[in-house]
A = this chain, B = another copy of it.
């Protein structure tokens, strides 16, 4: 686990993630901060923040990497848990869902981690 310096760029990214619980794609972040920092810096900071378990990541249906607050195997109360990620096909926003998905026992397989991606309409887009 690498040491994290509180540089200007790190602070900017952390501020962005603290705005909401949304899962933000790297591309969005690069675009949003293109005046403030290089894309390489964005990639590297996200890497470090994930190493430090401040953020967690997953790959969405489009193959894009997305990051959100918190460790991947922990819920909002820091209890061990695997939570699903939601992607709204209408507005494109993504977020961590505060529910637990039950994985059935599969004989002869050992499951170490899981990634659940749910696609549909979010609360703002359901009409």
Residue tally, chain A, CB below 8 Å to B: 35
Determine if A18 is an interface residue (Cβ-Cβ < 8 Å): no
Chain A 40-74 interface 0/1 with B at a Cβ cutoff of 8 Å (1 = within): 00000000000000000001111111000000000
A16 neighbours in B (Cβ, 8 Å): none
Chain A contacts to B: CB under 8 angstroms: 59-65, 84, 86, 89, 97, 99-104, 106, 108-123, 126
Q: Taking chain A's interface residues, is the majority helix, strand, or loop, or is none over half, making it mixed?
A: loop
Which residues of B sit under 8 angstroms from A116, Cβ to Cβ? 101, 114-117
Least CB distance from A100 to B in Å reads 8
A117 and B114 in contact (CB under 8 A), knowing A59-B62, A106-B99? yes
